[in-house]
Amino acid sequence: MSLSQALELTRTGDLWVFRGSSRADRAIQITTNSPVNHVGMSIVVDDLPPLMWHAELGRSLPDMWTGRHQRGVQLHDLRDAVLVWGRKYGQRAWLRQLEPEATAPMEDAALRAVARLDGTPFPSSTRLAARWLRGRFPLRRLPLGGRSRERALESAYCAEVIALTYEEMGLLPAGKHPGYYDPGRFWSGDDLRLEGGASLGGEIGVDLPQD
């Protein structure tokens, strides 16, 4: 599928997963036993262009929520974001569609997550690895409810942002430490079960324009 076709097709809650071949990309893939190393989510509301909600170290594009170039959790023009990840970072992109389509209350919930999390810093590599291990093998029970959980989330990586947004939308159960989720959790090879009868379709390869 072409990028233009994917942009016409995508809806709020659809996922974009990416796979690269750099040493950093491979390290994430090996550590998480996953073929992908990055995940983002479409936000498509009203007459705005499709947007990408994700977290990254770079600041190549202006954040559509703040208008600034910033690192960490960001809201980008979707087309521009996919082109940056494809051309600048050398990543292959796939689209996974949410079924059934997100409702208006779910879209409102996603925007609340944007308002709350936008601008959250991206963790260091050491903290990123520690966060993932802590999420998979918790050493002690953590205060995961409401504001206590938000205060604990001083930084966030891509899969955490998507998991927290999906929780806000009612698509994932609350209670797991955000570090439990990595990009591979959102690949079809993992048994990610969504709430309320929702599901994610298989990966659709997205081809970038040649110009």
Q: Which domains does the chain have, with CATH numbers?
A: 3-206 (3.90.1720)
> At 31, phi and psi to the nearest 5?
-60, -40
Task: Give per-residue pLDDT as tens, 116-143.
Answer: 999 998 754 444 444 444 544 444 443 4
Q: Report the alpha-carbon distance of residue 80 to residue 62 in Å, rounded.
A: 10
What is the reported pLDDT for 65?
A: 94
Lowest mean pLDDT across 56-70, 95-109, 131-145, 175-189: 131-145
Confidence class for position 96, pLDDT limits 50, 70, 90: very high
**pTM, 2 dp:** 0.83
Note whether 49 and 23 are within 8 A (CB): no
- Looking at the predicted structure, is the pLDDT value of residue 144 above 60? no
